[in-house]
Structure 1
Amino acid sequence: MTPKVVVFDIGNVLIEWLPERFYDDVIGAERRRAMFSAVDLQAMNDDVDRGAHFGDSVRALAAQYPDWHPEIMMWHDRWIEMACPVIDHSVRLMKALQANKIPVVSLTNFGIETYDLAAIHYPFLRAFDGDYISGHMQVTKPDAQIYALLEEGTGLNGDAVIFTDDRVENIEAAATRGWQTHHFEGPQGWADRLVESGLLTREQAL
């Protein structure tokens, strides 16, 4: 079946998200490994993705670990440097699909405040035909509820939906619902899949 809606993850699909790379560049790989071992930054980020306030969450964590306070605060003060650069080919694919009158929606684990910040720097984030942002829905992938909310919002399910994400567990959760899926490992593979699905021509997918 030719899909009726295309669903994009954002982190590492449309925008690179590699906090480790940022910290390696700023404080060095050895110190970064020590901090990531001592401080559960991922758990804090997961809370933000479920709707916790970004600034309050980072400041609370920094207060718990005074030895790492300056480094933890970088997660807030220099967040946009972790969420970069844009994956330009993926953005072109999004625009090409919309030019073909194919609805494109987001399904992303993203905080409320961080999404607003990212959208200031990357205006294409305001161009989706529908936004399914975990912080607003207070549930994250791969929880089944977030996929159900997208189905409810779009009125589409099963193989009418094609979804790309860089995380295998998120893809697997979508596949159990009958969605067409693509594990994102680079924009060219996604471009090829969209061509194979009959959504873009080879020229449009460049």
Structure 2
Amino acid sequence: MPHRPAILFDLGGVLIDWDPRHLYRQVYGVEETEFFLANVCTPAWNLALDGGRPFAEAIREKQASWPDYREAIDWWWSRWEDMLNGPIPGTVEILEELKDLGLPLFALTNWSAETFPLARKHYPFLDWFQEIVVSGREGVVKPDPAIFRLAALRCGIPMEGSVFIDDSRANVDAAAALGFDAIRFTGAGALRRELEARGCLSAGGRAS
């Protein structure tokens, strides 16, 4: 009988391949795309969107600062779905196995409240979660401890001993400091081994 802790998944980078490079490299190639993402639409700027900043306001301000990239900045909203590249190979299969075993499944994601509905229609497996806590709806982002506490409360799970899976080292460290059994996601095969070691999956289950 598998161990039955609650399991809290990150989405982007764990289950969903979201990366603005999927869009911008179609237009700019590698070098200019990397310049654009390092200097114009930066990770910090996107994190503010994940924290609840309205797209219209953020884009308008950024276009004023970078008029030569006005159209490209607009794509962050108008072509946002082109940043999606399907599920992360193997991880959805693991999620399905956990679901079939009846383990309690939840998600905690840094994601804009405006774009999350656009993503949701592409990924039916998101319906397998009992609850999804979206940072843009809450106004706070990982790795702030407040969002982990909120997620535990919203999902009705203990932080101590619940499994948390994320590809970000900072998020994993923050969760671990609060008592989560935190796993840094590096690929489906490694995740399967981590879950087997915890008794959440049977060794020798479905191939990943």
Q: When the two structures are superposed, what TM-score results if normalisation uses the length of structure 2?
A: 0.89
Structure 1's consecutive aligned runs of 4 or more residues displaced over 6 angstroms after TM superposition are none
> Is 1:157 matched up with 2:158?
yes
Structure 2: runs of 5+ lacking an equivalent: none
Corresponding position of 1:51: 52
Corresponding position of 1:143: 144
CA contact 1:49–1:112 (8 Å) conserved in 2: yes
Measure how far apart 1:195 and its partner are.
1.4
CA contact 1:8–1:164 (8 Å) conserved in 2: yes
Q: Report SS of the residue matched to 1:157.
A: coil
| Distance change in 2, residues 1:150/1:205 (3 Å) | farther
CA contact 1:163–1:181 (8 Å) conserved in 2: yes
Measure how far apart 1:29 and its partner are.
2.0
Identical pairs, percent: 33
Larger deviation: 105-114 or 152-161? 152-161
Corresponding position of 2:205: 203
CA RMSD of aligned residues (A): 2.0
Measure how far apart 1:76 and its partner are.
1.4
Q: Report SS of the residue matched to 1:98.
A: helix
How many matched pairs?
A: 206
Measure how far apart 1:55 and its partner are.
4.1
Q: Report SS of the residue matched to 2:18.
A: coil
More helix by share: 1
Once the two structures are superposed, what CA deviation does each residue of 1:140-187 show, in whole Å capped at 9, x if it has no partner?
Answer: 000000011122123332443101111100000011011111111111
Measure how far apart 1:21 and its partner are.
4.7
Aligned-partner residue type, residue 182 of structure 1? I
CA contact 2:22–2:84 (8 Å) conserved in 1: no
Matches within 5 A, 1:21-36: 21-36=22-37
Once the two structures are superposed, what CA deviation does each residue of 1:25-66 show, in whole Å capped at 9, x if it has no partner?
Answer: 321222223323442432331121111223443344224321
Aligned-partner residue type, residue 30 of structure 2? A
CA contact 1:166–1:183 (8 Å) conserved in 2: yes
Structure 1: runs of 5+ lacking an equivalent: none
> Is 1:85 matched up with 2:83?
no
Matches within 5 A, 1:57-136: 57-136=58-137
Once the two structures are superposed, what CA deviation does each residue of 1:98-146 show, in whole Å capped at 9, x if it has no partner?
Answer: 1111111111100111110001111222331111110111100000000
How far apart are the structure 1 equivalents of 2:158 and 2:206? 26
CA contact 2:99–2:128 (8 Å) conserved in 1: no
